[in-house]
Amino acid sequence: MHQIPLHDKDVNPDGEKKKAHYHLVLNYKGNKSFEQIDEIARSLRAPAPQRISSLTGAVRYLTHMDNPEKYQYDSSNIQTFGGFDLENCLALSTGDKRQALRDMLAFISENNILHLKDFADHCMSEDAPAGWFEILTERNTLFIKEYIKSNWQKQRIDDSDNYYSEK
């Protein structure tokens, strides 16, 4: 059974632990007045509701997906109702995916990754930024594999140049 992630590991900028709390995102197909939503909030003894500018951003905030400096909560604990498409909200935007792919290629170069296995292992580790494993495995594997292969080939050429001297 799923439950809403309890934010019990949040800390203030001064390092003091915040009081445990929940975040709730309400999404309706039709218009709802502030009074209607506030009635729900009051029945839950929650603070006054706030209008959000981005549904995706609000849902991703439930786990701090876009805030790596904050504790990362498990998205499997998010409970949805009424056919809400959680996966779509948690997915990276096209721009985010492009930037993450750029970051991945920079990581490969900077860390002289020569084997796809080493990179895949990193993407599956706790050290990898959120979304890297998904980006690796969703239609980018061939491109990344070829990038790593060319990195390996370039390394071999650079190494062989070191063995030759001018006469």
Percent of the chain with pLDDT over 90: 40
Residue 1 scores a pLDDT above 50: no
Confidence label for 162 from pLDDT (cuts 50, 70 and 90) = low
| Confidence bin at 161 (pLDDT 50/70/90) | low
Q: Which amino acid is at 12?
A: N
- Reported as a single tens digit per residue, the pLDDT across 30-60 is 888 999 999 999 999 999 999 888 888 888 8
Q: Whole-number mean pLDDT of the chain?
A: 86
Instruction: Identify the residue whose tokens are 């985010």.
Output: 96
Place of tokens 């995706």: 56
Q: For residue 110, what pLDDT is reported?
A: 95
Taking the model in full, what pTM does it have?
0.57
